[in-house]
Amino acid sequence: MPRHAHYVPHGVIPAVLLPFTDDLAIDEQNFRKHLSDVAAVEGLSAVTINAHSTEVASCSFDEQRRVLDIAQDEIGGRLPIVNGVWADGSLEAARLARMAEAGGASALLVFPPAPFTLGQSPAMAVEHFKRIAGATTLPLIAFQYPLQTGQGYPRDTLLKMIEEVPTIRAIKDWAGNVPQHEMHIRELQSLKRPVNVLTTHSAWLLSSLVLGCNGLLSGSGSVIADLQAALFRALQSNDLAEARRLNDRIYPLARVFYAEPWADMHNRMKEALVLLGRLPRAVVRPPLVKLGRGEIDRIRAALVEAGLLSHKTARDAA
């Protein structure tokens, strides 16, 4: 039984980063500090681990279990933990799901299998989620990729998945286009058994939330969870003026975090936390590589523009 039983994914859910030492081992001490910093933000619903933001593709099964153990020990008493399920095969996905439930996770974020890029059928998608649902009682969040990647679920497939796998309680929506995103919000949140839409359109977060998402799940919450929580509250209160003011602060960071190549988004967030004094170093695992000075300077300028770093501090650190 998870520590936060009966949790339904909703609201503001930051996806944290995973610090590494110079020899590419997990930096447990600074991971604990980072978790504590993020969890201290008012207005969060949960925290996500073992996902894109924690470079899950580079982590072994045992490392993922250790990441969950640390998160539970550090913040599990305060917030539910959403654990990612990243696996190309359904049997390994089910194994990860069992591990996560045994470790006290409150929900699972299920990534689409990479083989779906070669073509998927509705039956394949349903089978993948049924295998996972058969291994755990935890609520599932289906990660909806853009359709053009081959890993996204077309509308009819998504509805079939939801119909046949009752533990799907939310989607993390990265559809990438407004009409499809709005369709998800209108249809899924209005089902007889509602499925929450958690936006991950962090490059255009205000535009997305205005459409009526019941939450957001974002890696940039590792840096700006406070601004995201405030933005979500403003829109829940229909305070568009306040939402636009907050978005003016978020926009400079969205512009630099989500520049091409997108694979570096969490690399950039680590550098932002170093510039803010919240992490001692920004080490990433290969194939990611250290960012160049020019890009770090652009991140520093965006932090100043967002009001998170003073001009003087930025000058002194340059």
**Is 133 part of a structural domain of the chain?**
yes
**Is 253 part of a structural domain of the chain?**
no
- Report the pLDDT averaged over residues 193-199: 98
- Report the pLDDT averaged over residues 64-75: 98
**Is 228 part of a structural domain of the chain?**
yes
> For residues 203 and 223, what is the distance between their CA atoms, to the nearest angstrom?
14
Domain, as residue range, for 127: 11-237
Predicted pLDDT at 317: 61
**Is 301 part of a structural domain of the chain?**
no
**Is 69 part of a structural domain of the chain?**
yes
Whether 9 shows a pLDDT value over 80: the answer reads: yes
Amino acid at 222: S
Based on the structure, what is the number of domains in the chain?
1
Predicted pLDDT at 6: 87
**Is 263 part of a structural domain of the chain?**
no
Structure tokens at 224: 């700006």
Whether 2 shows a pLDDT value over 80: the answer reads: no
Q: Give pLDDT tens digits for 215-244.
A: 999 999 999 999 999 999 999 999 999 999
Q: Give pLDDT tens digits for 181-194.
A: 999 999 999 999 99
Average pLDDT value over all residues in the chain = 96
Predicted pLDDT at 260: 96
Read off the CATH number of the domain in which 41 is found.
Answer: 3.20.20.70
**Is 314 part of a structural domain of the chain?**
no
Predicted pLDDT at 314: 64
Higher-scoring residue by pLDDT: 151, 4: 151
Predicted pLDDT at 200: 98
Predicted pLDDT at 5: 74
Structure tokens at 276: 């803010």
Whether 292 shows a pLDDT value over 70: the answer reads: yes
- Return the percentage of the chain with pLDDT > 70, whole number: 97
**Is 150 part of a structural domain of the chain?**
yes
Q: Give pLDDT tens digits for 125-167.
A: 999 999 999 999 999 999 999 999 999 999 999 999 999 999 9
